[in-house]
Amino acid sequence: MTVNRRTFLQGAFGAVGLVMAQGALSKLVYAQGASGTLRVAIAKPAGNLDPQSHYAIWAIQDLMFEPLVKYGRGGQIEPCLATDWKIEGGGKTLHLTLRQGVTFQDGTKFDAAACKWNLERWMGLDQFSWMNCSKYFESLEVVDDYHITLHFNEPVLALMQELSYTRPPRFLSPMSVGADGKFKEPVGTGPWRQVKADDTESAFERYDGYWGDKPSYERLEAKVIPDPRSRVAALRSGEIDLVGGFWIAPLTPEEAKQLEAAAVNVVVDPGNVTLVMAFNPDRAAALKDSQVRKAISIGIDRAAISQVLYHGYAKPAGNLFSSALPYAGKQHGAPVRDAAAASALLEKAGWTGGPIRSKDGKPLTLEMVVSPDAVPGSRIIAEVIQSEMKEIGIDLVIRSVDHASKHTDMLEQKYDLGFFLTYGAPYDPFGSIVGLCLSTFKNDVEGKLVTDPVNLDPLINAATAATGDQIEPTIQKVYDWLRDNDAIAPLVYVPSIWAHSNRVQGFTSPVTEYDMPYENIVLAAE
Amino acid sequence: MKNLKPLFARLNKIPRAALITIGLFVALGTFAPWLAPQDPSAQNLLEAGSGPSAAHWLGTDHLGRDTLSRLLIAANTSLVSVGSVLGIAMTIGIAMGTIAGYHRGWVDDVLMRVVDVGLSIPSLIIALAVIGIVGPGYWTMVLALALAWWPMSGRISRAVAVSIMSKPHIEALRVLGASPWRIYFNHLLPGTIGAVMVYATADAGVAALAVATLSFLGLGIQPPTPEWGQMLVDALPYLESDPRQVLLPGLALTAAVIGFNTLGESIALNRIPKPLTRRTLAARRIEVAGWGKESLDAK
């Protein structure tokens, strides 16, 4: 057969028609198979769901396992498996009243015995000593079927916040473990029961014996789509309904903007995580001078970064924590870029000349370590800062490394300037203050944002030892010290970005980045 | 001018498109710092992602930097890094290959086994390993790639050296009492370099791609130095909203790689006598028939 114009055109039209028909058909099939099912994208398989291990996607564990208390908006502690709690003995005793009529998904009753079995799996163990309630745990006593009392040998800071964490404090059915007491199957008290889990998806069915408000749809499927562009394409083709979440399947501001342009529903929450720049005066002597640190801080155009790189979804940060968190302290506006003032500060500090300033014959060169895998978008932000630093006479060298090297470099302090993300709700403010700023606290994962054993440690210790009304003024002193000394440079509050299909109605952003926001969703009929 | 004639004749045999592409690449790469209309790393966030205009002929990138200037300077970056990689790799490779080819025997065996080990590991993996140990940076990348690249030229130069060494004129030189140094530097080395250079042309495209790949992975050239691979990865998030940003560095890289490959291939092919086409055969027949006539005329 020879190809002439007619056969070519016939063939081309036929092919285009076929593709369009297939597209329409596949949409129809997706929709049909999905009625009553919420399909969420996850970036990697859900992993080992054991609430006492650290491998799974938090939000998947959140579907099945519940805590004693929930972390609500603005840090409000809300009842969950415990209906009432009382802290006595100066913070050393916790009386818990457990919810009645709760059963695990395998039919086992949730009572004081089940609660005790769960708490003893992790409280007081070395492995979990990063949590104060585990570090100071003394004893546990069952009062009756629905009352339990915990004793600690020290007052526990942010005790109820800690009990709301996803792991390890969530509750697993005592019947779901193997003979050796090790985790076997994920059986919790939550509204979703796992029916399937493999490398391509995890599927859940509604647990009809759930004690609380049951979801309005029967099934939830978490589909593994590792590539960000494929996730966005899947949402647009109707293959999935919901995508987003920092730890679930992150959407970049650019992707969100493109989705918005394509009339997809995008929900942006100001978020409760802060992107902070750390100074390392131990390695770069120039950074020992607070004037240099201040010059760098006011030399950065936070407004432009949030406007151009985050497309306006992020807010410039003037504090370590945003007001979305409890005890976030007095909120200051973000520093406005002032190149002239920054240059003047550097002159005053003795760094003169140009185009790169120098002092005692040494040029003002600083190295910034970035890892876009660890902190999304950090390399581009670094490039912007690099160009802004050049304008005020600082030579900034960018060293981009992979995720693992970033962790080791930060731990070994092999950087002059680096990026940190605060932990966010429910861990903050104390999680980041202790984990990233207290020199005596061992942090083997992120390294330290800033430490000062002489000046900062006493302030942090006072804040963590404070109770009641004393917490606010003592923690404010920590924030004031950080601010007055320009010890850190908060850049932006990282937004929480989600996008969903038209089937999803009533969506609200999750309270923390560790929750799956399934709760208020109603699926529209198509 | 007369001396240049054979050169032009040889250049004429090379596909014109490849010659122009590579000529442009080398010329633009060499003179990029003078040709670039603007500072390639000067940012203007307010103009980020704007299209072609009088001020920015090819538009700006995601940070408001002039794309044309960046593409030009990136050509310079690629040219210098590819040149350095091949320069270092060939120096090591030719030295090893010619020594092996000259000496033969156990020296040859040892050196060629080392080459075998080098060849058995994919070059990009060696480069990644070196960068992983030393840490990313411009010269680390160049050295890592050179380290990955030399075994190939080592193997080729050894083969060429062996063939030169078995030629009668080398034997004649030996008989005449030429010193090993003279044979090596005056006869063996120049012949080998010429032959290996041909392969280097074809390799330049692959090396340019390797440099771009490493930069794409964030392990090669560090910002703000513009590099095509880096520009590609930076532009990827904007693939949908502004494909221009991806297309331009992509096209530049593709053109350079295809250009080098075609060039290398045609140079290599030009060294082999071509089978005669029907038309040349016919032309020759007519010419030969003409000879007969000529001889008749002469009578």
Q: Model confidence over B26-65: pLDDT tens digits?
A: 898 889 889 888 888 888 888 888 888 888 888 898 888 9
pLDDT at B196: 84
**In A98-112, which positions are buried (b, 16+ CB within 10 angstroms) versus exposed (e)?**
bbeebbbbeebebbb
Burial B92-125 (b: 16+ CB within 10 A, else e): bbbbbbbbbbbeeeeebeebbeebeebeeeebbe
Alpha carbon distance A435, A320 (integer Å): 14
Q: What residues does each domain of chain A span?
A: 66-176, 271-495
Given pLDDT bands bounded at 50, 70 and 90, which one contains residue A176? confident
Task: Quote the DSSP letter at residue B199.
Answer: H
pLDDT at B293: 67
Predicted confidence at residue B275, as pLDDT, reads 67
| Shortest CA gap A355–chain B (Å) | 14
* Shortest alpha-carbon distance between residue A404 and chain B (Å): 11
3-state secondary structure string across A324-377: CCCCCCCCCCCCCCCHHHHHHHHHHCCCECCCCCEECCEECEEEEEECCCCCCC
The Cα B162–Cα A504 span in angstroms is: 73
Identify which of B43, B63, B237 has the shortest CB distance to residue A254: B237
Chain A contact set for B240 (CB, 8 A): 258
pLDDT, tens digit (0-9, with 9 covering 90-100), for A407-456: 888 888 889 999 999 998 888 888 899 889 998 888 888 889 999 999 99
- Cα B16 from chain centre: 17
Q: Over the stretch B168-206, which tens digit does the pLDDT of each residue have?
A: 988 899 899 888 899 999 889 988 888 888 778 778 888
CATH superfamily for A271-495 is Dipeptide-binding Protein; Domain 3 (3.10.105.10)
How far is B286 from B291, CA to CA, in rounded Å? 9
The β-bridge partners of A500 are A242, A265
Tell whether A229 lies on the interface with B, counting CB pairs under 8 A: yes
In angstroms, rounded to a whole number, what is the distance separating the alpha carbons of residues B21 and A473?
69
In a domain, B298, yes or no: no
Amino acid at A303: A
ipTM: 0.71
Residues of B in contact with A229 (CB under 8 A): 239
Which residues is A366 bridged to in the sheet? A396
Distance from CA of A383 to the nearest CA of B (A): 7
CATH number at residue B223: 1.10.3720.10
Q: Is B45–A386 a contact, with Cβ atoms under 8 angstroms apart?
A: no
* Gyration radius of chain B's alpha carbons: 25
Contact A386 B224 (CB under 8 A): yes
Number of domains in chain B: 1
Q: So what's the pLDDT on residue A181?
A: 81
Higher-pLDDT residue of A368, A24: A368
Please report residues of A whose CB lies closer than 8 A to that of B223.
379, 382-383, 386, 398, 400
The pLDDT assigned to A1 comes to 56
Would the pLDDT of B297 be above 80? no
Residue A426: is the preceding peptide bond cis (ω within 30°)?
yes
Residue A113 pLDDT more than 90?
yes
In a domain? residue B185: yes
**What is residue A195's three-state secondary structure?**
strand
The rounded mean pLDDT for chain B is 85
- Please report which confidence band the pLDDT of residue A21 belongs to, taking 50, 70 and 90 as the band edges: low
Neighbours of B3 (CB within 10 A): 6
Unique residue bearing structure tokens 């034997």? B171
Please give the residue range of the domain that contains residue B161.
4-293
Question: pLDDT tens digits, residue range B229-277?
Answer: 888 888 888 888 888 999 999 999 999 888 888 888 887 776 665 667 7
Task: Look at residue B299 and tell me if it is in a domain.
Answer: no
- Judged by a CB distance cut-off of 8 A, whether residue A384 touches chain B is yes
Burial class (CB in 10 A: 0-12, 13-18, 19+), A92: middle
Q: Which residues on chain B place their C-beta less than 8 Å from a C-beta of chain A? A: 41-43, 45-46, 48, 62-63, 135-137, 218-219, 222-224, 234, 237-241
The CATH class of A66-176 is alpha beta
Residue scoring higher pLDDT (A300 or B222): A300
Which H or E run contains A39?
A: strand A37-42
pTM confidence score: 0.80
CB atoms near residue A483 (< 10 Å): 17
pLDDT tens digits, one per residue of A463-504: 888 877 888 999 999 999 999 999 999 999 999 999 999 999
pLDDT of residue A526: 61
Q: Which residues pair with A98 in a beta bridge?
A: A82
* Termini Cα distance of chain A: 46
Which residue on chain A is closest to B215 by alpha carbon? A400
Q: How far apart are CA A135 and CA A120, in angstroms?
A: 13
Chain mean position to CA A39: 21
> Is residue B289 packed enough to be buried (19+ CB in 10 Å), middle (13-18) or exposed (0-12)?
exposed
Q: Which chain A residues are Cβ-neighbours of B41 within 8 angstroms?
A: 387, 390
Buried b (16+ CB within 10 A) or exposed e, A151-173: ebeebbbbbbbbbbbbbbbbbbb
Please name which of A226, A183, A220 lies closest in space to residue A202, comparing C-alpha atoms.
A220
Q: Which of B43, B135, B222 sits opposite A387 (nearest CB)?
A: B43
Q: Nearest CA of chain A to the CA of B250: how many Å?
A: 19
For position A491, what pLDDT does the model report? 95
Six-digit token pair at B5? 């004639």
Find the CB nearest A383 among B42, B135, B223: B223
Sign of CA dihedral A211, A216, A217, A220: negative
Q: Per the domain annotation, does B125 fall within a domain? A: yes
Contacts of B242 (CB under 8 A, 6+ apart): B49, B235
